[in-house]
Amino acid sequence: MEIIFKIKNDLGEFTSEPLEVNEEQYINFIEVSKTFYNGTYQMNTPDGFVVIPPDILSKSVLIVEKVK
């Protein structure tokens, strides 16, 4: 399956590059996402790379979306 990560906050929406994962990897991503707010977050985007600091991260929503 193919997934993307979306981060929504007051600054806008940030979308990751698509990732091809199997069911086990998907479940692991869901487990790891539960600690999303515990620090900084970084991801590759179609246009480059984004790092979100803890103060902005605490006001953000993480969406893991199945694309295919």
- Predicted pLDDT at 66: 93
Per-residue model confidence as pLDDT tens digits over 10-29? 999 999 999 999 999 999 98
d(CA 1, CA 55): 32
Report the Cα–Cα distance between both ends of the chain, in Å, rounded. 5
Cα four-point dihedral sign 50, 51, 56, 59: positive
pTM to 2 decimal places: 0.82
* Confidence band, pLDDT 50/70/90 cuts, at residue 32: confident
CA 48 to chain centre: 14
- Predicted pLDDT at 6: 95
CB 39 within 8 A of CB 47: no
- Predicted pLDDT at 39: 81
Minimal CA–CA distance to 6: which of 25, 24, 23, 19?
19
